[in-house]
Amino acid sequence: MASGIFAILDDIAVLLDDVAVMSKVAAKKTAGILGDDLAVNAEKASGFASSREIPVLWAITKGSFINKLIILPIAFLLSAFIPIAVTIILLLGGLYLAYEGAEKIYEFIFPHAHSKKEKVDVEMSEAEILAYENERVKSAIITDFILSLEIVIIALGTVLTQPLATQIIVVSIIALLATVGVYGIVALIVRMDEVGFKLIKSSKEGKSFKKSLGLFLVQALPIIIKSLSVIGTIALLLVAGGIFVHNVDYFHGFLPSLPSFVGEFIVGLIIGFICLLVVIGAKKFWKVIKGDK
């Protein structure tokens, strides 16, 4: 009886050890996408009245948890019964990530007019403000669903050869950490300027550490968001390139004389711009068809 208990404890220890090791690997693989996730969600949660930023962010966070509850069971079922589907979804996700990264670079080099971002107007009624908030929250939750799907599939792809129990624990941990980590940091980011303004107002001296810190926080916020966007774009291409290099034989050993991350970035960049050209061509073709009608 005692030996059976010790055997069970030994199996649990081995499982936990495997989970710890694979969680580190999965976290490293998915970390690249979090910069873009942070930048997107920081932008989505900004532009509201100070008193509404945290409630709006909490609503998006709850939606993110629901997204994970939908995605995780489906991912595990695919892994258990149709494992090849995980690889296919992973490659499709790689195409999307590469396209998104290339599109951001294209828009930076060739900027074009976008519709102006809506803002909460002081003349809006309470019902209009709530409707505006709900619309932004829904948009953010949809974006989160796409990003969550990418994170879960990438994490699952790193443990696909492991037992199902290990897959479930590792991917669930990554999904939970991604949600708590991303939205926790977003909450700190969107409140930076508010904290800065409070420090400036509470400073009675003309030049003081408190006032300098407040000015720094206010001025740093837009820089941080822009930096996250740049880091996120690079990360998207690195993650996308890594997906293809590790899952498509043709790209194995691509540019062997260069560091692996450089090769992965170049692969992601090439595939991204191919996808971008296809999308641009498809849009122009569709416009021609509509014009003929």
Q: In this predicted model, what pLDDT tens digit does every residue of 139-173 receive, in sequence order?
A: 788 878 877 887 888 888 778 778 888 888 888 88
79 pLDDT higher than 50: yes
Q: Give the pLDDT mean for 238-262.
A: 83
Q: For position 237, what pLDDT does the model report?
A: 87
Question: Between residues 6 and 219, which one has the greater pLDDT?
Answer: 219
Kindly report the backbone phi and psi dihedral angles of residue 47, in degrees, each rounded to the nearest multiple of 5, phi listed first: 90, 10
Give 208's DSSP letter: -
117 pLDDT higher than 50: no
Most confident of 44-58, 121-135, 173-187: 173-187
275 pLDDT higher than 80: yes
Tokens at residue 64, please?
């993110």
- Number of Cα atoms under 13 Å in the Cβ half of residue 239: 37
The domain in which residue 248 lies consists of: 2-292
Which residue, 211, 163, 224, is CA-closest to 39? 224
CA distances from 32 to 124, 133, 200, 218, 275 (A): 39, 29, 35, 27, 20
CA distances from 163 to 34, 68, 82, 167, 177 (A): 26, 21, 14, 6, 21
Question: Between residues 75 and 291, which one has the greater pLDDT?
Answer: 75
189 pLDDT higher than 90: no
41 pLDDT higher than 60: yes
Q: For position 281, what pLDDT does the model report?
A: 93
Per-residue confidence at 25, pLDDT binned at 50, 70, 90? low
Number of domains present in the structure of the chain: 1
218 pLDDT higher than 60: yes
Element (H, E) at 198: helix 192-202
Mean pLDDT of the chain: 78
273 pLDDT higher than 90: yes
Question: CA-CA distance, 152 to 245, in Å (whole number)?
Answer: 19
Question: Between residues 143 and 108, which one has the greater pLDDT?
Answer: 108
Q: For position 7, what pLDDT does the model report?
A: 47
Q: For position 269, what pLDDT does the model report?
A: 95
Using CA of residue 231, residue 233, residue 239, residue 241, what is the dihedral sign? negative
Q: For position 14, what pLDDT does the model report?
A: 47
Q: Give the pLDDT mean for 72-90.
A: 87
